[in-house]
Structure 1
């Protein structure tokens, strides 16, 4: 199956950026600490580019990870940017402020269903009304709602790889959380560490997580403590896995499992899910990052057979991570099946997610004969087969 790409995937960007800098594969591989064979396979589409290797290559070329991976084109964000700029400027008291909590819950429901376009459409109005209400009342719960809206903005920006907007959102989220309850500050720290994760600064993200864990242990108690520590350890195990730091990864995994044992099932707070099921999805993702591919596939099979209750925001990445490991194990048919399942539950996310683009690019490159299922997936992300 010959293929030319209409829009480059992350792996293709590596070759483009390398040539722009006048580097040979040997020179770039040496700078990044990877083998020439691996770099060559990534560039031609025989191996998928992982974020861990991507971060090493980006540093070697003095790029950010999002510059290397590429980002979705920005849509019209003028209204949202206007609302964000007016964080410190109180406006009129909104009509029906009692509806704000429900409106934020509705935004989170759209987030969990990965309905990106609808979220962007509604965000400016909800953010403006929530911010005005918080300024005029000064209530911690009102500022907690503002922090929750900024968490949604961070999530949306991260999905599109609008990293400047993601970092701005977490900064405002922290400012709002300082005026809210302690658990809001922990959620903000978790999202802040996420900006380090998405930019490829995994060590910096771990430093944010470690500082927040100390804060959570001293400030929180009971259910809030288990939840706060749990979401931080999930972020920590992902960051440590990208660094291939086995000891730190295992420490965060064990702590996340201990925290999740406090809950019989997964639940959401401040728009973030936590519990045994979501902990398992993070462990699977990290196993794939650390090239423990058989473990990732086997663990996922057990989880899926037990029945998934998580929203699309977690189910689609689960299938993508399983697909990464299936592809590494040479099971291309199962990789296609995993991508199909992810597209069913989260089509808008799959259209912009770098893992979706990269897996599709490699599958197209590796398939030598026509495959209708793969052709359908490729057409959705703009890859001509």
Structure 2
């Protein structure tokens, strides 16, 4: 796909009008039309703004990138194997992911369990590697909660779920680890946790 086709295709996929894209790129609407018919190409001073508006890297805009990365933006369910007072607890909570190229921001939208039982809101970031691995961090988003740590996930080949581990500092200062899973529904996320536990014999 050439740059003209790419700009038009991505603009329409993202629900932007030519005027919307022009406003985000800081150019006249007529200039966007000229890009889309292949009359001219964006200059180096305009290309980064167009790439940002279309959620593309500059390499992708220039047609030099590899295969398109998987889109993980949206609402998901995260499930975690953790413990409280020495007893295993499997939690599940809703998260929202926003993606910009290979960078994914994660924010909880529910706690999953009551505050009295250890539930808290958290946020984090993941980096997508080769459309198959995600590595990142999380930290409690509530002032009185100290929990923070790292996450490592392997993405399902069709992008329907992620499975992996977390390692982090618990509320009482101990370092803990457990299985982690992300799926499109609570049932999916919990099922992946059970599969991981079964495969590991735990």
Structure with the larger RCO, 1 or 2 (CA within 8 Å, 6+ apart): 1
TM-score by length of 2: 0.30
TM-score by length of 1: 0.17
Q: Which structure has greater helix proportion? A: 1
